[in-house]
Amino acid sequence: MQHQKEISVTCGKIYSKMFKYGYPYTSLDHSVGVALIVWNFTADKKQTLAGLFHDIASPVFKHTVDIFNGDADKQESTEEKTSDIIKNSEDIMTLLERDGIKLEEINDYYIYSIADNDTPRLSADRLEYSLSNALFVNELCDIEEIKRFYENIYVGVNEDKELELCFDDEDIADKFVELTSRLSILYRDDKTRFSMGLLSDILKWLVKNKLITIDDLYELSDDEVVEIINKSRLKNVFGKWANMKDVKVSKNMPDDYYWVRSRAKIRYIDPLVNDSRISSLSENARKNIANNFNYDMENYVYSDSIKLKKLEK
134-152 pLDDT, tens digit each: 999 999 999 999 999 999 9
C-alpha span between 241 and 303 (Å, rounded): 9
C-alpha span between 104 and 125 (Å, rounded): 19
Q: What is the pLDDT of residue 157?
A: 97
Dihedral pair phi/psi, residue 157, rounded to 5°? -125, 130
pLDDT band for position 308 (cuts 50, 70, 90)? confident
Q: What is the pTM of this model?
A: 0.94
140 CB-contact burial (10 Å; exposed 0-12 / middle 13-18 / buried 19+): middle
Is the model's pLDDT at 88 over the cut of 90?
yes
Cis peptide before 120 (omega within 30 of 0): yes
pLDDT band for position 312 (cuts 50, 70, 90)? low
- The amino acid occupying position 229 is I
C-alpha span between 297 and 50 (Å, rounded): 34
C-alpha span between 68 and 197 (Å, rounded): 8
Is the model's pLDDT at 126 over the cut of 90?
yes
C-alpha span between 71 and 73 (Å, rounded): 6
Is the model's pLDDT at 310 over the cut of 60?
no
Q: Where are the beta strands (DSSP E) in the chain?
A: 153-157, 163-167, 248-250, 257-260, 272-273, 276-277, 300-307
Q: What is the pLDDT of residue 50?
A: 98
pLDDT band for position 76 (cuts 50, 70, 90)? low
Confirm if 1 and 52 have CB atoms less than 8 A apart: yes
DSSP 8: B
3-state helix, strand, coil in the chain (%, to 5): 50, 10, 40
How distant, in Å, are the alpha carbons of 7, 235, 251 from that of 194?
A: 20, 17, 15
Confirm if 153 and 127 have CB atoms less than 8 A apart: yes
Q: What is the pLDDT of residue 174?
A: 98
What tens digit of pLDDT does each residue of 193-236 get? Answer: 999 999 999 999 999 999 999 999 999 999 999 999 999 999 99
